[in-house]
Chains A and B, each alone.
Chain A
Amino acid sequence: MIRLVPNQSDQIERSGLVTFSFEGKPVQGHAGEMLVSALLRAGYLNLRHAPMDKAPRGAFCCMGLCQECAVRIQGQTVEACRTEVAENLIVERI
């Protein structure tokens, strides 16, 4: 089939894979990418529960405003969309 917008996914060279954990389970991501993209790729869409109705929530604005992707790393609440993946990072739900 003719494609005017070619699929360029195989022309992208990414950094090596590292392993971090989300809720105790190992997740692979490319070193230096944002947590949110690694978690999305691994199928972890539900990142937290809304404090009032406990409904599942996931990354929404992807630019550090909405706080829906807030996760906990070393006791600090951070935005998954502004935090880079690194080897052995321990990421938990807040």
Chain B
Amino acid sequence: MSDHFDIAIVGAGPAGGNAALTAAQSGLRVVLLDEQPAAGGQVWRGKSPSILSAPMTPETKAGNDLRHAIDQSQINHMSGTRVWDIRRDGDKWSLQILCDAQSLQITATSVILATGAREYVQPVTGWTTPGVIGLAGATALFKQSLSLPGDKTVVSGTGPLVFFVASEIRRLGGTVAAIVTPNTRADWARALPSMLQHPKLLARGGVWMADLMLAGVPILWGHAVSKVCGDDHVTSVQTQALESDKQGPIFEADSLCLGHGLIPQIEAAQMLGVPIHHDPALGGWVPDVSPDGVTPVKNLYLCGDGCGIRGALAAGLQGTLTGARVARDLGKTAPAPSIRAWQRAAGFGKAMTGLSIVKPKLEALTSDDTILCRCESLKRSDIRAEITTGAKSTNAVKSGRRAGMGPCGGKYCQTVIAALIAKETGKPIGAIPPSTPRPPLRPVPLGQAAGDFHYDDLPIPKPAPL
């Protein structure tokens, strides 16, 4: 295998997968790098080998179609592979990857980042208790292993995901103790016009909702989880009405799925110099990028939820647009698809994203004794004290208190810390950018990053004379 490619694509979800297919069709040498065992991204995550057969779902079918197309193509698909650094090397890109516990370097003329999204969870006291998992995290368990987060689960969060997760728990034989959503029926009524364009998705949501009502599962609209109780694992979940601040019911449960929307994963783009701006309607900080993936950085392209949360349908279409654009830029003939279909799909996705814009009353449930930085066990009061003593940026809080230097690399604390700095300093959230990302983009064992070498081969300069 030659290690130079025309295009290296990071992420094999709907966006990266379709970009790879389109680019490969034009005759380019494409490598598709993805950290999961199978292509499909989070939304179309493949089943683990432990599942021999299972009823088909729309997500399985969409994922299988993409995986089949990739298998049939000339794409060099490297699964289970982590990209931990990308650098400019003359007129090409150099990527450091970790594959089968081996560190490798590959080069490419152009890079497409299709890094997708991660979950935002508004911290609440007790959210670090074992048994609390992300709402999107729960879907990973369902899709990959068809397994449940627990025997009796409270499902809480925003947007349509909360109903999907509850419905999947019931489909897989689990019990939903309650659904607790900060959204109100009025929030949903406002999103309805955009949903009417996708009657199939609307109908599917209708079935989930009707089933939950028939089963007598309590649905608490305009409520949020105010505290998670349990020492070694979750034992109960307290709720609160957001508008009235009144305490809601307490549910006994052994697990809680909690999530408040998705955040674009922009670290790699940011590290490579793509300018970013803040757009709450797209999930927060997003890179500057055209609909066909072009960025201000030469030979670097972006597509999918990593440049704004517009959903899987839009991500796939943008992947196709971007793959074709890169092919044309590299001198190949490729169709120039219309951006109309992408715009339509994006409209729907954005309406769903809008349901997850954090409400001030939800934010207020994060109290001073709530842990914000899970890695370093830093409470809100710790971060506030740091801000009060002069740390007015996420970088300053990071260097002062290590919030963002732990193993997760700030992925689960930076958004809430930025919001807290904005609140404490009276600045708009758009004035508090995320901290400067640095390699490694993912944790890498030092021994593996260094690769095989003999100490004798290391060039050691002579010490300077005293």
Contacts and interface: CB of A to CB of B under 8 A. Distances in A.
B50 A33 contact: yes
B179 to A, nearest CB: 13
Contacts of B136: 61, 63
B374 interface: yes
Given A32-B50, A84-B49, A45 B211 contact: no
B167 A67 contact: no
A70 B407 contact: yes
A66 B412 contact: yes
B150 interface: yes
Nearest to A59: B133
Given A32-B48, A47-B130, A9 B173 contact: yes
Given A5-B171, A50-B128, A70-B407, A62 B133 contact: yes
Contacts of A34: 48, 144-145
B411 A58 contact: no
B3 interface: no
Given A5-B167, A15-B52, A32-B48, A60 B132 contact: yes
A36 B445 contact: no
Contact of B128 (A4, A55, A65): A55
B53 interface: yes
Chain B interface: which size bin?
35 or more
Contact of A58 (B130, B147, B170, B171): B130
Contact of B140 (A5, A8, A81): A81
B130 A33 contact: no
B130 A66 contact: no
A13 B54 contact: yes
A25 interface: no
Interface of B: 35-36, 42, 48-55, 101, 118-119, 128-134, 136-138, 140-141, 144-150, 167, 170-173, 207-208, 210-211, 214-215, 231-234, 374-377, 406-408, 411-412, 442-443, 445
8 contacts: A4-B210, A13-B53, A33-B50, A56-B232, A56-B233, A65-B411, A66-B374, A66-B408
